[in-house]
Amino acid sequence: MVRFEDLRIFVAAADHGSFSAAARELDLTPAVASAALKRLELSLETRLFVRSTRSLRLTGDGERYLEYARAALSSLQAGQSALARDKTAISGTLSVSIPSDLGRHVLLPWLDEFQQRHPRVNFQVRISDRLADLYRQPVDIALRYGTPGDSGLVALPLGEHNRRVVCAAPAYFARHGMPRTPADLRRHNCLCFVLGESLHDRWAFEHEGDAVTVPVKGDRVGDDGDLVRRWALAGHGVAYKSRYDVLADLRAGRLVQALPDYIGEPSPLYLLCVHRMLLSPAVKRLREFLQARLREFEAGATP
């Protein structure tokens, strides 16, 4: 195994044409430098220098190897510099607001993984479906569904193509039948979500270029996305959920998607903050990490 320090001594000796000069540059004794060169030659099974009492010059093998030694040292030093930059830049405390359902079941494990990769990053996590007041509350970034309005917030996309899907437990559809068109939802128990004063009881779709909206109702209304999902899993009714929220359940068969020929309304996921100056290296790295995880999640490469 070639030692990093032996390569440094070899390159310095080649540059100076002297063991003693190389030793002085690296703050070593000439004996240590000479031993390093002998060790390197033994490892490579070739002579790198022609030595005499007055001169030191490279052999043919030494000249060829010098190019690779310089490249190896340069790569190693670049790697050390990159790690040093990461350790100084990817650090600090991030206050993050995340939505209830996606946050608990998908994002929290990913935040754990990110923190394992970057142990100098600390998280303060708030879970709520309400959009945090980023101007008044101590929140650095928020992850939220939906196309942001003209609020002045910086909105960076994480999952732009996410949409809502109609789904329910297999047992529910076994009892009540599978809806074939959005109009069929009127006879189903629809689990509605309320956010603030807004009740989401009009479910919108696209079909063959036409917009279709159907009013729905049911015996349960919740202001927490995770609660609505749990009701659906328990067989209490039909939910209209972000595909990200229920993707794992659909793949596992715990929920079944209905109306696959009808395109649900967009539900893109965004990272929000109040100003671009808050996009620190840690925030940028987190966004890149979450984008990669979402791509893998959509492709079925992550649970």
Per-residue model confidence (pLDDT) at position 190? 98
Q: Which of 65, 83, 101 is the last residue in one of the domains? A: 83
> How large is the average pLDDT for residues 106-123?
94
Residue 186 and residue 153 in one domain: no
Residue 178 and residue 225 in one domain: yes
Per-residue model confidence (pLDDT) at position 19? 80
Residue 46 and residue 132 in one domain: no
Residue 51 and residue 22 in one domain: yes
The CA distances from residue 202 to 100, 156, 213, 214, in Å, are: 21, 28, 6, 6
pLDDT at 64 over 60: yes
pLDDT at 249 over 90: yes
Q: For the chain, what is the mean pLDDT? A: 90
The CA distances from residue 19 to 13, 50, 204, in Å, are: 5, 12, 79
What is the number of domains present in the chain? 3
Per-residue model confidence (pLDDT) at position 302? 58
The CA distances from residue 217 to 155, 175, 187, 201, 256, in Å, are: 33, 18, 9, 6, 20
How does DSSP classify residue 222? Answer: E
Structure tokens at 75: 């790569």
- Residues ≥6 apart with Cβ < 8 Å to 206: 212, 262, 263
Structural domain containing residue 115 = 92-158+268-299
pLDDT band for 297, please (50, 70, 90 cuts).
very high
pLDDT at 78 over 90: no
Domain of residue 206, CATH code: 3.40.190.10
pLDDT one-digit tens code per residue, 133-150: 777 778 889 999 987 776
Residue 116 and residue 77 in one domain: no
Per-residue model confidence (pLDDT) at position 105? 94
Domain of residue 53, CATH code: 1.10.10.10
Structure tokens at 97: 């607001």
Q: d(Cα 236, Cα 21) in Å, to the nearest integer?
A: 82
Identity of residue 175: R
Per-residue model confidence (pLDDT) at position 264? 96
Beta bridge partners of residue 97, listed in sequence order:
126, 142
Residue 125 and residue 208 in one domain: no
Residue 253 and residue 212 in one domain: yes
Residue 206's Cβ-side half-sphere holds a number of Cα atoms within 13 Å equal to 8
Q: Which of 55, 83, 111 is the last residue in one of the domains? A: 83
Per-residue model confidence (pLDDT) at position 301? 60
Residue 153 and residue 287 in one domain: yes
Residue 256 and residue 276 in one domain: no
Residue 57 and residue 139 in one domain: no
Q: Which of 17, 52, 83 is the last residue in one of the domains? A: 83
pLDDT at 88 over 90: no
Residue 69 and residue 116 in one domain: no
Q: What percent of the chain has pLDDT over 70?
A: 96
pTM for this model (two decimals):
0.69
pLDDT one-digit tens code per residue, 169-204: 999 999 999 999 999 999 999 999 998 889 999 999
Structure tokens at 78: 């670049």
Residue 123 and residue 178 in one domain: no
- Residues ≥6 apart with Cβ < 8 Å to 58: 14, 48, 49, 50, 66
- Point out the least confidently predicted range of 28-32, 210-214, 264-268: 28-32
Q: d(Cα 108, Cα 98) in Å, to the nearest integer?
A: 9
